[in-house]
């Protein structure tokens, strides 16, 4: 999989993808993440990419031409399964959507800024619009990082323990159970006895019960 991220603040994303699991995923050739500076496609010496909104009103709008040039240059190199626009008025991101995207080939992610992008970009180039939650960020970069991270960790071979993504919270609409490590007794706070029993089936049953209990308490909406 290749993920191309188009941004007017590319430095926000560079360091994020240079670390930990995402770094290993790229070194292992499971994914290639390339961040593009939209200003490189401005077509003018001031490198400007935004302008006032027709009809007036506060806030600048990202113009269509630099974005069209960038997307077309990418599409001339390879095919893309989705051209995603990260925007607070997009479809709410959830695990099922992430699972589906992790099965795709190449993805473009366009990060919005200011008052958004010219509507014609969305009409002509964008195939999927995604929001990461009901709150407003100052730009789409953090949202693209969240989305790309959640996709990349699902790619086969990226996580050490092949089964560990399957036991994530949300993977069966259930929150994950509590986990413990050494020491078994921290200042009198002891771990549940069952985990020391060595009885695998009983432990699995306990974990499942804990998942149900947590989900009922914290996210009853997931059980409906
Ligand atoms: Cl994708 N972008 C921005 N700017 N704010 C958001 C968002 C995206 N998702 C939730 N809030």
Q: What is the pLDDT of residue 18?
A: 87
In the prediction, which pLDDT does 162 show? 56
Residue-level pLDDT at 46: 98
Q: Which two tokens stand for residue 154?
A: 């699902």
Pocket flag, ligand 1, residue 116 (CB < 6 Å): no
Distance CA(141)–CA(10), nearest Å, equals: 8
Q: Which of 94, 132, 138 to mutate to test the pocket of ligand 1 (most atoms within 8 A of CB)?
A: 132
For strands 50-52 and 60-62, give the pairing. Answer: antiparallel
pLDDT at 19: 82
**Which of 93, 94, 110, 140 has most ligand 1 atoms within 8 Å of CB, for mutation?**
140
Q: Which residues of the chain have pLDDT under 50?
A: none
Distance between CA atoms of residues 153 and 144, nearest Å: 14
In order of their start, the domains of the chain are 2-152 (3.40.1280.10), 169-223 (1.10.1270.20)
pLDDT value of position 122: 98
Dihedral of CA atoms 118, 120, 122, 124 in degrees, nearest 10, equals -150
pLDDT attached to residue 163:
60
ipTM: 0.94
Structural tokens at position 171: 């993977």
Ligand 1 pocket check for 140: Cβ under 6 Å: yes
Q: What is the pLDDT of residues 42-81, one digit of tens each?
A: 999 999 999 999 999 989 999 999 999 999 999 999 999 9
Ligand 1 centre to CA of 185 (Å) is 43
pLDDT, position 190 = 98
CA distance 15 to 203: 40
pLDDT at 66: 98
Residue 168, pLDDT score = 82
Ligand 1 pocket member 143 (CB < 6 A): yes
**What backbone torsions phi and psi does residue 42 show, to the nearest 5 degrees?**
-65, -35
Which residue out of 134, 143, 149 has the highest number of ligand 1 atoms within 8 Å of its CB and is therefore the one to mutate? 143
Residue 129 near ligand 1, beta carbon < 6 Å: no
Is the distance from the beta carbon of residue 211 to the nearest atom of ligand 1 less than 6 Å?
no
pLDDT of residue 20: 74
């Amino acid at each position: 999989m290749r993920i191309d991220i188009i941004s007017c603040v590319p430095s926000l994303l560079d360091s994020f993808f240079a670390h930990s699991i995402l770094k290993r995923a790229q070194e292992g050739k499971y994914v290639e993440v390339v961040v593009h500076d939209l200003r490189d496609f401005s077509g003018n010496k001031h490198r400007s990419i935004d302008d006032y909104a027709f009809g007036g009103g506060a806030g600048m709008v990202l113009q269509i031409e630099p974005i069209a040039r960038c997307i077309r240059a990418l599409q001339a190199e390879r095919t893309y399964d989705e051209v995603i626009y990260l925007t607070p008025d997009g479809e709410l991101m959830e695990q099922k959507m992430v699972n589906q995207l992790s099965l795709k080939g190449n993805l473009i992610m366009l990060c919005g800024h200011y008052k958004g992008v010219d509507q014609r970009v969305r009409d002509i180039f964008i195939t999927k619009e995604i929001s990461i939650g009901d709150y407003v960020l100052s730009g789409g970069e953090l949202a693209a990082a969240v989305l790309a991270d959640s996709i990349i960790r699902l790619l086969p071979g990226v996580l050490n323990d092949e089964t560990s993504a399957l036991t994530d919270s949300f993977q069966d609409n259930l929150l994950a159970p509590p986990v413990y490590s050494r020491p078994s007794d921290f200042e009198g706070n002891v771990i549940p006895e069952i985990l020391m029993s060595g009885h695998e089936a009983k432990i699995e049953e306990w974990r499942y019960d804990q998942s149900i209990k947590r989900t009922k308490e914290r996210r009853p909406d997931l059980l409906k």
